[in-house]
Structure 1
Amino acid sequence: MKGFKEFIMRGNVIELAVAVVIGNAFTAIVTALVDGIFNPLIAAIFNADEISKATLTVGPVNFGIGLVIAAVIKFLLIAAVVYFCLVLPMNKLQERAYLKKHGHPMAEAEVEPTEADLLVEIRDLLAGRANNTPQA
């Protein structure tokens, strides 16, 4: 039971649960937007009564692209809402908290030297050591 309690109290689990709840709430809004505005527009473009009947005819083959287009639009809308309503404000809050605590903006992550850079540095150090040793 102790392990389960630790698992539930981890920050990642709580954040995931919040994300699922928020995602479900946004889904209703985005579905209404897509079904009420975008689907009729797409259906009108393809001269279809409804989006599921929107097709693109190439020779003898009919491609049902209306549903695919609607799904892509829905995905982009959900991604935009999540980014602008959740990710961007959280990043700003973290930045403000960091500034308040440290008094300066977050520094860019330092680039770690590559293996080649380290080998060159070791070679130069060894060459310097060899040149500074007394001759016998």
Structure 2
Amino acid sequence: MKGFKEFLLRGNVIDLAVAVVIGAAFTAIVTSIVTNVINPLIGAVFNASMLDKTLIVHIPTVSGGDASLKFGAVIGAAINFIIIAAVVYFALILPVNHLIKRTFAKLKKDEEQTPQDVPPTDVEVLVEIRDLLRSQQGRSLDGGAHVAPNDAPEGPGLPSTTKL
């Protein structure tokens, strides 16, 4: 019983149950569209209320009755399949693919921006500190003379500019 309980409470079973219920509801909508809108339009072309009643070929049987080949029903089933496939594609697949593409584009854009948000390494921080100290002391990055600020007091016996 424990294994059966785990099976029933597993997320996949719940997802599958939801998919079956939604699928049944969606099938009802598609069937209604096909039965009440598409079939009457096609039936009007063939001068019948439904394709099931068109293109019937009667074949006499040996026992004296007749068999009916219902080509209209087959054509109607093929058209229903095409219509259902089109509704599924245009109402489900296309919008979901568009949503996924937009989501991945946003994620990709976020990933491209993420490296700017990554904190610098220790070496990069130390190089920045060194460069700031050099610029505050008046040195260029490649070395050079030290120039004291204008308001800096002169040291004992030292001029305001000194070569290090």
Distance verdict in 2 for CA 1:87–1:50, change over 3 Å? closer
| CA–CA distance in structure 1, aligned partners of residues 49 and 22 of structure 2 | 38
After superposition, what is the alpha-carbon deviation per residue over 1:23-60, rounded to whole angstroms, capped at 9, x for unaligned?
22221112112332112322x3xxx6763342365x98
Which range moves more in the overlay, 81-90 or 24-33? Answer: 24-33
Q: Which residue, 4, 7, 11 being the options, matches 1:3?
A: 7
% identity of equivalent residues: 28
Partner of 2:92: 86
Using the size of structure 1 for normalisation, the TM-score is 0.57
Partner of 2:71: 65
Q: Residues 1-136 of structure 1: matches in 2 within 5 Å?
A: 1-6=5-10, 7-10=12-15, 12-42=16-46, 44=47, 51-55=51-55, 63-103=69-109
Determine helix, strand or coil for the equivalent of 1:90. helix
Structure 2: which 5+ runs fail to align?
61-66, 111-164
The CA RMSD over aligned residues, in Å, is: 3.1
Distance verdict in 2 for CA 1:63–1:89, change over 3 Å? same
Using the size of structure 2 for normalisation, the TM-score is 0.48
Structure richer in strand, relative to its length: 2
Give the AA of the match of 2:30: F
Question: How many residues get paired?
Answer: 99
Does the aligned pair in 2 maintain the 1:51–1:67 contact within 8 Å? yes
